[in-house]
């Protein structure tokens, strides 16, 4: 179907009180589901398919409160076209992202090529995006039941799995490198959900479900769901309403055609350590860097840019960091994107100053700026977070990953402290004043003032050098600088570049 997007492992097996059903159980469940979905003949007669509908997206890790209500990220309309014989799909998106406005583009996914087309032309998908799209298409294809029916050796009975308050009979189905957990409705016999266990920067091993409802027959008898909900650890991240289904429409093969340049630039779908949740949810958020290097453009690299003696801006990627060399160790601000960026920053700081990272300061809880925190904890860095987020990060430090990371291997205890209002870090030559400030982006937001360099570190409220409008974020920063008597500073951003404080002042002088 679509790429569209999307509790810990202990919850997976809870309530598995379904009786043993013998060797034929998994195939019987599949056969019952095929019959309930219109029958084998009707499903095999489905050669092409066009779906039209609406989608709404949320992101739980961009909430105002840590662990609070998910942020609405946008609404979309789509038309998805499938050619089952060739394995090609095209999804035409008309999307409106909150705070970003409309975007129109098409995603074309085939087994050996994925690319994006928009008003600027076409470009090949990164390997991780192509892999994520292929997996999600495998998950939601109406022919999944036929694949299971045709490969009984890849289907195994799993017992009962919890979905909401119910315990449902389930099987596993291995396709390629993915294990799908397929849960069946006890009454209708139709699939109730298709589950994977994904790595998530906050939850560790997270249950990722697509949940089906409101099944209706199409012409020809095949049944498809009209409501589809994607959830991560029971948090809804996407709800789709199918408004129109057209079985076996005529398809012009040109709608899947790629240019010679796009074909030449394509990369095979990634097969190892695909960050599925990062790809899916950043696409839903409208802020995905389409690169296999994840945090830097394809072929790019991070770098340290000196802002002042002992102050380095980590730039070159989608998210920045700040490194301050102090007498007895290094202080780093924010741990964005992934453990990979965290490891690069730690190693670069050690190489630059010959000292360990002693302290990590997280400006707020949003996962795109904190996903590497576990790597810093594994380095025995103390972590400072805004109040009231200590418990949130303590739980994050205790989660388990599908593939053990540095923290799991080292079994280091987390040293996490809250900043309720202000904290100062000092040595003989540097003073860092950290302030918790009022804002509308996240409850608990820190900025830092580094002296004598007179540099202010800010994340998300303002992207220096690229934003020139008065917004709630710039207003919060402007008011905080006035409150703390900061003048003439250089402002360095978690996004963007650097800019003199005078540039921020001009925004408010003009309004």
Over its length of 511 residues, how does the chain's per-residue pLDDT go in tens digits?
Answer: 333 332 333 333 333 444 444 445 789 999 999 999 999 999 999 999 999 999 999 999 999 999 999 999 999 999 999 999 999 999 999 999 998 889 999 999 999 999 999 988 999 999 999 999 999 999 999 999 999 999 999 999 999 999 999 999 999 999 988 999 999 999 999 999 999 999 999 999 999 999 999 999 999 999 999 999 999 999 999 999 999 999 999 999 999 999 999 999 888 999 988 999 999 999 999 999 999 999 999 999 999 999 999 999 999 999 999 999 999 999 999 999 999 999 999 999 999 999 999 999 999 999 999 999 999 999 999 999 999 999 999 999 999 999 999 999 999 999 999 999 999 999 999 999 999 999 999 998 999 999 999 999 999 999 998 888 899 999 999 999 999 999 999 999 999 999 999 999 999 987 6
* pLDDT score recorded for residue 101: 83
First to last CA, the chain: 47
Q: CA angle at residue 381 from 375 to 383, to 5 degrees?
A: 90
**Which CATH topology does 303-509 take?**
Metallo-beta-lactamase; Chain A (3.60.15)
* pLDDT score recorded for residue 459: 98
Residue pair 489/456 in contact (Cβ under 8 Å)? The answer is yes
Other Cβ atoms closer than 10 A to 344: 22
Bridge partners, 305 (sequence order) = 313
- Residue among 400, 455, 393, 449 nearest 426 (CA): 449
- Report how far apart, in Å, the C-alpha atoms of 95 and of each of 60, 98, 182, 238 are: 19, 10, 30, 13
Sign of CA dihedral 397, 400, 405, 406: positive
Please tell me whether residue 469 adopts helix, strand or coil conformation.
coil
* pLDDT score recorded for residue 26: 83
Measured distance CA(158)–CA(164) in Å, rounded: 18
* pLDDT score recorded for residue 2: 35
Q: Which phi and psi (to 5°) does residue 339 adopt? A: -65, -30
Please enumerate in sequence order all residues whose Cβ is within 8 A of that of 38, keeping only pairs 6 or more positions apart, or say none: 217, 220, 221, 222, 223
* pLDDT score recorded for residue 18: 43
- Report how far apart, in Å, the C-alpha atoms of 25 and of each of 13, 143, 183, 380 are: 18, 20, 13, 50
- Report how far apart, in Å, the C-alpha atoms of 470 and of each of 144, 421, 441, 475 are: 50, 25, 15, 7
DSSP state of 362: -
Residue pair 117/106 in contact (Cβ under 8 Å)? The answer is yes
Measured distance CA(281)–CA(278) in Å, rounded: 6
Residue pair 487/454 in contact (Cβ under 8 Å)? The answer is no
DSSP state of 408: H
Bridge partners, 51 (sequence order) = 80, 245
Sign of CA dihedral 396, 402, 404, 405: negative
Measured distance CA(315)–CA(141) in Å, rounded: 40
Residue pair 355/391 in contact (Cβ under 8 Å)? The answer is no
* C-alpha count within 13 angstroms, C-beta hemisphere, residue 415: 11
- Report how far apart, in Å, the C-alpha atoms of 387 and of each of 5, 82, 380, 438, 473 are: 31, 49, 21, 12, 19
Residue 27, judged by CB atoms within 10 A of its CB (0-12, 13-18, 19+), counts as middle
Measured distance CA(275)–CA(298) in Å, rounded: 16
* pLDDT score recorded for residue 511: 66
Please enumerate in sequence order all residues whose Cβ is within 8 A of that of 379, keeping only pairs 6 or more positions apart, or say none: 346, 356, 357
Residue pair 255/81 in contact (Cβ under 8 Å)? The answer is yes
Q: Please state whether beta strands 382-386 and 357-361 pair in parallel, antiparallel, or not at all (unpaired).
A: parallel
């Amino acid at each position: 179907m679509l790429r569209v997007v999307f509790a810990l492992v202990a919850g997976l097996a809870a309530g598995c009180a379904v009786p043993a059903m013998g060797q034929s159980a998994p195939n019987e469940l599949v056969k019952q589901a095929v019959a309930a979905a219109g029958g084998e003949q009707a499903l095999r007669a489905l050669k092409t398919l066009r779906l039209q509908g609406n989608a709404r997206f949320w992101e739980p890790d961009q909430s105002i409160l840590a662990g609070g209500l998910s942020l609405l990220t946008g609404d979309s309309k789509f038309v998805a076209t499938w050619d089952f014989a060739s394995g090609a799909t095209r999804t035409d998106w008309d999307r409106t992202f909150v705070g970003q406005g409309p975007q129109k583009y098409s995603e074309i996914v085939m087994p050996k090529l994925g690319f994006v087309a928009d008003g600027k032309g076409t470009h090949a998908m990164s390997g991780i995006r192509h892999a994520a799209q292929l997996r999600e298409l495998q998950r939601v294809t109406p022919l999944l039941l036929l694949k299971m029916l045709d490969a009984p050796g890849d289907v195994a009975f799993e017992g009962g799995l919890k979905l909401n308050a119910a315990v449902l009979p389930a099987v596993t189905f291995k396709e390629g490198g993915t294990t799908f957990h397929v849960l069946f409705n006890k009454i209708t016999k139709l699939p109730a959900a298709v589950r994977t266990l994904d790595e998530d920067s906050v939850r560790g091993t997270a249950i990722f479900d697509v949940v089906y409802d409101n099944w209706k027959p199409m012409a020809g008898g095949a049944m498809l769901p009209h409501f589809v909900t994607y959830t991560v650890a029971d948090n809804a991240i996407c709800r789709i309403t199918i408004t129109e289904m057209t079985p076996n429409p005529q398809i012009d093969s040109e709608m899947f055609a790629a240019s010679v340049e796009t074909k030449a630039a394509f990369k095979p779908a990634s097969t190892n350590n695909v960050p599925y949740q990062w790809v899916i949810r950043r696409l839903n958020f409208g802020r995905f860097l389409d690169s296999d290097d994840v945090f830097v453009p394809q072929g790019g690299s991070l770098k340290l840019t000196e802002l002042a003696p002992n102050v380095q801006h980590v730039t070159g990627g989608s998210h920045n960091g700040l490194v301050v060399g102090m007498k007895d160790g290094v202080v780093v601000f924010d741990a964005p994107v992934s453990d990979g960026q965290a490891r690069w920053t730690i190693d670069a700081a050690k190489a630059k100053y010959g000292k360990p990272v002693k302290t990590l300061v997280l400006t707020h809880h949003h996962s795109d700026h904190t996903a590497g925190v576990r790597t810093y904890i594994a380095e025995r860095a103390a972590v400072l977070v805004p109040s009231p987020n200590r418990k949130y990060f303590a739980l994050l430090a205790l989660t388990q990953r599908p593939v053990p990371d540095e923290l799991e291997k080292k079994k280091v205890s987390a040293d996490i402290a809250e900043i309720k209002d202000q904290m100062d870090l000092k040595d003989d030559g540097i003073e860092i004043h950290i302030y918790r400030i009022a804002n509308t982006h996240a409850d608990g937001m820190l900025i830092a003032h580094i002296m004598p360099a007179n540099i202010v570190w800010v994340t998300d409220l303002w992207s220096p050098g690229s934003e020139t409008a008065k917004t709630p974020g710039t207003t919060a920063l402007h008011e905080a600088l006035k409150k703390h008597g900061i003048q003439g500073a250089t402002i360095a951003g978690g996004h963007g570049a650097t800019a003199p404080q005078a540039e921020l002042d001009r925004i408010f002088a003009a309004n």
